[in-house]
Amino acid sequence: MTSLALHGVRGGLGRSALLAALGYALQGVGERVLLIDLCPDNLLGLHFNLPLEAREGWALAEREGRPYTDAVYEVLDGLCLMPFGNAPGDALHPAADAATWAARQVELAEHFDWLLFDVPQLPAATAGHCVETDVQVLVAEAEMASHLLLGRRPIERYDLLLINRYDPASRLQSDLLMVWRDLFRDRLPLQVVHRDEAFLEALACKAPLGHYAPQSLACRDVQSLAVRCLTRRQS
C-alpha cells in the first residue's frame, strides 16, 4: 500500500479536484483506492455526487465515539471515499494527528493499494504535520503568489511540485516554469497539469475529471501523474 498527500502553497488551487481525478485515474488501471478528506470544508465528496449538506464523515464518527471507518463510501468498484463530515463546530475540529493517521494507514493497508489524502491548508511551518505519507505532493500555480509562497516552504519535505492550470500561451507562466525548473533542478521534480475548462465543468456535474471528460488535455495530464505514481511505487 502507498500513501500520498496533496498540499497546496495556498488555497484555491484545485487541490481537491486534482485528488479526485488522480484517484479515478488510479482506479481506472485496477488499483484499489481510498480518498480521505482531512479538510473541514468537506468538499472532496462533491466530486462524487455527495451532497454538500451530508453530515456523515470520519470526524463526526470520531466525535460520536464510532469507528472512523463508518464513513467510508464506495463510489465506484475499487474506489472509496472517506469524507471529513459536516457537523456544528467541525470547522474547529483538528484533522487528527500524524500518529493517529499512521496507525490508521496500517489498518487500511489490507484493503487498499492507495490512500490519497486531501490535506487542509496549513501554515508553511506546520504543513505536513497532520499526516505522514510515502509521497508528498505540493500543488502550485505558475503565478507570483505561488512563487513567493514557495520561498517559504521547506521543499525538501516534498517529492513533487505539481503545477496546476498551466497555460503555455501565458508569457508569465512560461517564464515562471523555466525559473522553477532551474531553481529546483535535481531537488524537486516538476509536473504540469494544463488549464482546462473540463475541470470546472466536471465539478459542476459532480463527477471526477476522468469520468466527465476522459479525452481532455487535463485528464491526460492526470493520467500521466498516475503513471508516475505507479512507477515510483514499483521502483
* Residue range 99-108, pLDDT digits in tens: 889 999 999 9
Structural domain harbouring 75: 2-234
* Residue range 15-55, pLDDT digits in tens: 999 999 999 999 999 999 999 999 988 899 999 999 877 88
Mean pLDDT of 133-137: 95
* Residue range 188-200, pLDDT digits in tens: 999 999 999 999 9
H helix runs in the chain, sequence order = 15-28, 58-63, 98-108, 144-150, 171-183, 197-204, 209-212, 217-234
| Number of domains forming the structure of the chain | 1
> What pLDDT score was predicted for residue 130?
74
Q: Which three cell numbers stand for residue 165?
A: 492550470
Would you list the DSSP string of 41-101? Answer: T--GGGGGT--TT---SHHHHHHTTS-GGGG-EEEETTEEEE-----TTGGG-----HHHH
Q: Give me the CATH number covering residue 74.
A: 3.40.50.300
